[in-house]
Amino acid sequence: MPRNNVLVAAPTYAGKDYALDDYIAAYNDFVWSDRSLLLVDNTRDHGEYAAHLHELGIPIVRRVEPSRDFEETLSRCWRVILEEAQRGKWEWVMSLETDVIAPPLTMDTMLNAALYCGAPFVTHCYPYHDNRTGEYYQGLGCVLMTTPLLEKAFELHDDSNSPAHDIVEGAIYEVAKTNTHISFATLLPIKHRDAPGGGSVEGGWDWDEITDPRVVKV
């Protein structure tokens, strides 16, 4: 009989440390008990932030040495998440970014929807930074997916003929589109923590000129 165990996971780096206390507290308050937490650190600091996460008692901490290509680094972080999900025989992976603060019933709500509808992919939107009214992200901030869906996403990710080649988020959503999927907009009061001074972290990543998302204004 399925356990419906959930590996909560996210790539992270020291630039998001401002939200970490709230994130850990929210994770600890989740009602769903059959879960664990994996953070994949990609801070350019020779492992100092990963050691800090260990000291805080994060159940599973892994580290990826970042390159100057954001997508390549993100993909390697997500490959670590997949490998950990497979190794631990986790049935579900919940992508919950470390500046996204979700209420206690988030996992129960998303799992119940997934199981009732037979959906291997459920996402919940979350607000933009700076309290921009009525505007929401979807992305990988708060997503519940089965481990087999993530495995299929990496098959697309690794396929040089796929439009989602080397883009892990695109590959996950391409697979989700071919399956029953659910998207919630404002069902749960999910928060998106701003960095001190507002917005997201500036200067926190050593971007190259091509992959720097800060040049894109939305």
Structure tokens, 178:
């071919």
Question: Does 130 have pLDDT greater than 80?
Answer: no
What CATH number does domain 6-196 carry, 3.90.550.10, 3.10.105.10, 2.60.40.420, 3.30.465.10?
Answer: 3.90.550.10
% of the chain residues with pLDDT over 90: 74
Residue 206 identity (one-letter amino acid): D
Mean pLDDT, all residues of the chain? 89
Q: What is the pTM of this model?
A: 0.89
Strand partners, 7: 36, 93
Quote the pLDDT of residue 136. 83
% of the chain residues with pLDDT over 70: 88
Mean pLDDT of 65-74: 91
pLDDT in tens, 73-94: 999 999 999 999 999 999 999 9
pLDDT in tens, 40-52: 999 999 999 999 9
Distance in angstroms (rounded) separating the CA atoms of residues 90 and 3: 9
Strands 121-124 and 142-146: antiparallel
**Residue 10 to residues 16, 99, 165: CA-CA distances in angstroms?**
12, 10, 21
Residues 6 or more apart in contact with residue 189 via CB below 8 angstroms? 103
> Which three-class secondary structure string do you get for 135-165?
CEECCCCEEEEEHHHHHHHHHHHCCCCCCCC
Question: How long a stretch of residues is the chain?
Answer: 218
- The domain segmentation of the chain, as residue ranges, is 6-196
Structure tokens, 31:
């009602």
Q: Where are the beta strands (DSSP E) in the chain?
A: 6-12, 35-41, 60-63, 92-96, 100-101, 121-124, 126-127, 136-137, 142-146, 181-184, 191-192
